[in-house]
Amino acid sequence: MAKKTLKEASLHIPAPLMWIYVLLFIVLLPLYFNNAAIDPTFLPKLHLMAWLLAGVFVIFGIVKRSAALLPALLREWPVVLWLGFLVSGLISLTVARLPYEALPDLLRGMTLFFFLISLLIMLHHTAQYRYILSAVMLLSLVLISVGYGQYFTYVFRQQDMQLMYKVIGLWTHKNVFTGMVFLTLPFLFYALTDNSRLYRSIAGVSLGASLILLFLLQTRSLWIAIFIFALTIGVLYYLRRKLMTKEERKGLRLVFRRTASILLLAVALAAGITSWSVGHPANEAAMESTSESQRIQSLDERAASIFDTKTQTRQSRLSIWRYTLDLVRDHPFLGVGPGNWKIRVTEYYEPGFMDTWYHNYRRPHNDFLLILAERGLPGLLLFSGFLLSLLLITLDLLKRSIPARDKLLAMAMLGGVAGFCVDASLSFPYERVDMMMMLMLFSGVLLDIRLRSKSEASGKIQSPGYRLFFAVGALLLIMAAVLSRKMIEGEKATKIAYAASNENKWGVAVEQIDKVYGRLNQIDPSNNPLLWYRGRAHSNLGNHSKARADLEEALRQHPGNIAVLTELGILFGNLKDFDQAESYLQRALDIYPNHSTARMNLGIVYYFREDYERALEHLYACLRDKEDAYLNMVIREAESKRWAEERQEDISPDQRP
């Protein structure tokens, strides 16, 4: 029997099914959240994505010709390198202190791989990108609507820069929200070439509104990403312009002029809105009460600050990168295991690193460093190789005899990849399901253009029927959905335990942690061990032996967690073991000298040791503008004891009773 070519083995996917696919993955998934979880937008999205893909793979397994593309896909370098990247994570598990902390990372990577496969199959059998463009445009309209609503509610005519961080869309952080806005730009840019005037108009308005919002919200890493996006497209055009026809060059230059006009207009409008907002007469009182370093800056001031490395934020960022590199030097080949950077990097902190503020670092704000630290050099090379392979595919496509619009689409997708890399160098898109899905969307479009050009040219791709692949994939995705659900339940219970602790409902806190603590739930998304919550509750309930067991295990899991160190210091102080108490409290203060709870309790330890001078030194350092009756009482007691001690020293021995 003659072997079928890819084109002959193809099947037609009805338009309604493709609409359902793009609306679920490109619109619903990024906007989905669950506020019951500590991180409402990570595990809930992973859980939803796994179930959606499991359903898609079941359908693929039933429809025989879905497998026609698999042999070709599994030979493509981006697919091979991503699989290798997943394997590198599994290998690094062998050295992880807490192997189960790697699960979210590994499940995300696996789910993204299956998303890429499903996307390529769907694209191949629909033969157009209009569905994706429409879905991205709809997503963009939702993002900018929510973004402008929050900007004019919280930021407009205000002075405090921290108010910018209230503009989070439906996410948990401004950087993630603005990152998603940026990742829609490549598709909006390409939509400017559409044959429909209405379609072009909507794309132009969405592109302009998105750019204005990005400039207003002043996320500098994304300003650089916008520049790199434009530069990438410009360089690609310059390098391959001689291989294009005169008509192709003319059409591309028209799109470039349109985009440049939109960009310049966006900068001008954003600068005008910011100046009007900051300079409004109603802001005079706010300007006096807000320090200059905390004020919202004009766009030109903010742009100039990109190169300022002397700010506290930049200095702390550079320090955490340096500590990460110290960790890498000790673990160069296997890393410390996915998900384990956050619990190992504290071993490399210098005393007083966070001398004026505290941050419980969950990431180094550089995804490439994170991958290097957790998966070692092989993992970084595989991830970088995946990105580099997309560049090589784009350069190859620009040499081929394919439609000019496909060439522009390829340039736009690579520009999106380049912008993603910039953001990943200064932020954390790698750990977000939706942002990584957008990266896979860029990759899928590039691979689809490549596969179409290859199949039309050679017609040699065969379809041996890979139903087993879809069956195994569906089972793995169901497993990912079940595991992510269990971790979500852990977050829900931990969130309840935290709220109960704040209300001194210690029994409720113990009950909630008892329900979910286990291998899947050890460290919460805020980077605190679950046993810290339970140990603290046991300590307040007077169950000292249980508290000690929980807190010592929590410290084993996360040796540099100052909440655990402080609670252990308090516990041993209550047990009158002042040497142990001093040791733990001092370790907490070595990391964060201004930790008032640790310092006050260290002062109390010295008080009970009758070292009143040192006790008062620490207690005075805890005084704040806000009145603290307990602290004031302890200070009065210590002052009274010191005064009595000094009086006793002033009395001669023969006068003493």
pLDDT at 412: 97
Closest CA to 34 of 502, 489, 512, 477: 489
Q: Distances in Å between the alpha carbon of 356 and those of 308, 309, 316, 596?
A: 20, 18, 11, 12
Closest CA to 445 of 101, 126, 82: 126
Q: Is residue 451 a contact partner of residue 7, using CB atoms and an 8 Å limit?
A: no
Q: Is residue 67 a contact partner of residue 469, using CB atoms and an 8 Å limit?
A: yes
Q: Is residue 140 a contact partner of residue 188, using CB atoms and an 8 Å limit?
A: yes
pLDDT at 9: 45
Tell me the H-state helices in 503-577: 506-516, 530-541, 544-557, 562-574
The CA-to-CA distance between both ends of the chain, in Å, stands at 115
Classify residue 470 by burial, with Cβ atoms within 10 Å: 0-12, 13-18, 19+.
buried
Residues 6+ positions from 627 with CB-CB distance below 8 Å:
none
Q: Is residue 554 a contact partner of residue 535, using CB atoms and an 8 Å limit?
A: yes
pLDDT at 112: 98
pLDDT at 35: 95
Closest CA to 320 of 368, 352, 365: 365
The CATH class for the domain spanning 528-655 reads: mainly alpha
pLDDT at 247: 87
Tell me the H-state helices in 151-298: 174-183, 185-191, 197-217, 220-240, 246-278, 284-289
Classify residue 75 by burial, with Cβ atoms within 10 Å: 0-12, 13-18, 19+.
exposed
pLDDT at 287: 57
In the chain, CATH 1.25.40.10 sits at: 528-655
Angle at 373 between CA 348 and CA 77, to 5 degrees: 170
pLDDT at 528: 96
Residues 6+ positions from 487 with CB-CB distance below 8 Å:
43, 103, 104, 520, 521
Q: Distances in Å between the alpha carbon of 491 and those of 98, 110, 485, 535?
A: 18, 22, 10, 17
Residues 6+ positions from 251 with CB-CB distance below 8 Å:
193, 404
Rounded Cα distance, 528 and 497, in Å: 13
Query: Tokens standing for 230?
Result: 């434009």
Beta-carbon count within 10 A of 159 CB? 21
Residues 6+ positions from 431 with CB-CB distance below 8 Å:
42, 105, 108, 363, 367, 370
- For the chain, what's the residue count? 657
Closest CA to 379 of 102, 115, 119: 102
Q: Is residue 43 a contact partner of residue 497, using CB atoms and an 8 Å limit?
A: no
pLDDT at 504: 96
Count the helices and strands in the chain (H runs, E runs).
Answer: 29, 0
Closest CA to 530 of 542, 518, 548: 518
Q: Distances in Å between the alpha carbon of 169 and those of 145, 205, 437, 603?
A: 9, 19, 18, 44
Rounded Cα distance, 478 and 52, in Å: 10
Query: Tokens standing for 583?
Result: 């040791």
pLDDT at 358: 63
Q: What is the pLDDT of residues 420-432, one digit of tens each?
A: 999 999 999 999 9
| Alpha carbon 29 to its chain's center | 16
Q: What is the pLDDT of residues 271-303, one digit of tens each?
A: 999 999 887 666 665 555 566 667 898 999 999
Q: Distances in Å between the alpha carbon of 370 and those of 42, 310, 337, 384?
A: 18, 23, 10, 13
Tell me the H-state helices in 63-173: 70-73, 77-92, 103-124, 130-150
Instruction: Tell me which amino acid residue 128 is.
Output: Q
Residue whose structure tokens are 């994170």: 370
Closest CA to 457 of 499, 513, 401, 414: 401
Angle at 326 between CA 322 and CA 330, to 5 degrees: 165
Residue whose structure tokens are 């307990």: 630
Containing H/E element for 639? helix 629-650
Q: Give the mean pLDDT per block of 10 residues along the chain (657 residues).
A: 45 84 98 96 98 96 80 93 98 96 98 97 86 97 97 92 93 94 98 91 97 97 97 94 86 92 97 88 59 81 85 83 96 97 92 70 94 98 98 94 91 98 96 97 97 61 66 97 98 98 97 97 96 98 97 96 96 96 94 90 94 93 84 91 77 54
Tell whether pTM > 0.95: no
Q: CB-hemisphere CA count at 13 Å for 429?
A: 28
Sign of the Cα pseudo-torsion (306, 309, 315, 318, in order): positive
| Beta strands per DSSP E along 314-370 | none
pLDDT at 242: 86
Closest CA to 293 of 102, 161, 404: 161
Rounded Cα distance, 167 and 249, in Å: 40
pLDDT at 293: 65
